[in-house]
């Protein structure tokens, strides 16, 4: 009630009421508010370093002391998806190493705009032995098709295939060399192999 009277007295707008009301929090209410901020913390447009500092500040204010693996999980869950997807595949020993990996991935994303596209898109690249890309947008697709298709050298794949018509091995029913003729007369079924 007291806070509401202050808002009315000072003509505080609706947008400013919640942030101003949190200033009056004390004790467990303040702790709850800090915990809530920490749980909802996301990197969004912050740099990796700024995001880490923000997280550490909230943890310090809330008096949170947790195992490092819990802090790492908290840190990863708030990272931008493009950074998180790349970093979770890399090895690291502790939070500091994870942050350094994230910073490097962030710098890489800034330098290479093609990496900023959706992480689910794949780009075909052909590499020479020297490691330089030989990919060209102007290169016709026929060059890719010129390579003869290689058949498997061993017959283990074809020998495991079973025909449902003749129960033979090495072919499928549509390619079955055994021709069967079926004649149906009323309730009588006649079949013969040719």
Residue 124 lies in a domain: no
Do 164 and 105 belong together in one domain?
Answer: no
Domain identity same for 75 and 20:
yes
The mean pLDDT value for 63-79 works out to 95
Tell whether pTM > 0.75: no
Three-state DSSP state, 162: strand
Under the banding of pLDDT at 50, 70 and 90, the label for residue 85 is very high
Answer whether residue 189 is part of any domain.
Answer: yes
104-156 confidence digits (pLDDT tens): 999 999 998 776 554 444 444 444 444 444 444 455 555 555 555 555 555 55
Query: Are the CB atoms for 165 and 178 separated by under 8 Å?
Result: yes
126 located within any domain: no
The answer as to whether 44 is a domain residue is yes
> Does any domain span residue 49?
yes
Q: Are residues 112 and 160 in the same domain?
A: no
170 and 82 housed in the same domain: no
* Cα–Cα distance measured from residue 29 to residue 180, given in angstroms and rounded to the nearest whole number: 83
* Percent of the chain clearing pLDDT 90 (strictly above): 37
Q: Do 111 and 24 fall within a single domain? A: yes
Tell me which residue range forms the domain holding 58.
2-116
Let me know whether 108 and 163 are in one domain: no
- Choose among 166, 150, 170: nearest CA to 158: 170
187 and 107 both lie in a single domain: no
Q: Is 80 inside a domain boundary?
A: yes
Please check whether residues 91 and 179 belong to one and the same domain.
no
In this structure, what are the phi and psi dihedrals at residue 184, rounded to the nearest 5 degrees?
Answer: -115, 120
Assess contact for 48 and 83: CB atoms under 8 A: yes
Helix (H) or strand (E) holding 158: helix 156-159
- In a domain? residue 148: no
The top-scoring range by mean pLDDT among 13-17, 55-59, 124-128 is: 55-59
Enumerate the H helices of 41-80 as residue ranges. 48-62, 68-78
* Number of domains the chain is built from: 2
User: Based on the domain organization, do 111 and 53 belong to the same domain?
Assistant: yes
pLDDT at 107: 96
């Amino acid at each position: 009630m007291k806070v509401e009277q202050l808002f009315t007295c000072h003509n505080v707008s609706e947008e400013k009421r919640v942030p101003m009301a949190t200033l009056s929090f004390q004790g467990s209410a303040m702790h709850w508010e800090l915990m809530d901020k920490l749980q909802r913390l996301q990197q969004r447009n912050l740099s990796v370093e700024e995001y880490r500092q923000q997280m550490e500040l909230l943890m310090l204010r809330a008096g949170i002391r947790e195992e490092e693996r819990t802090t790492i999980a908290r840190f990863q869950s708030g990272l931008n998806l493009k950074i998180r997807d790349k970093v979770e595949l890399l090895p690291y020993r502790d939070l500091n190493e994870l942050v350094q990996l994230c910073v490097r991935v962030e710098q890489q994303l800034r330098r290479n705009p093609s990496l900023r596209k959706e992480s689910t898109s794949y780009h075909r690249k052909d590499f020479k032995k020297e490691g330089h890309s030989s990919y060209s947008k102007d290169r016709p697709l026929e060059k890719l098709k010129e390579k003869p298709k290689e058949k498997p050298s061993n017959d283990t794949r074809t020998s495991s295939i079973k025909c449902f018509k003749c129960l033979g091995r090495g072919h499928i029913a549509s390619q079955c060399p055994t021709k069967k003729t079926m004649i149906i007369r009323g309730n009588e079924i006649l079949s013969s192999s040719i």
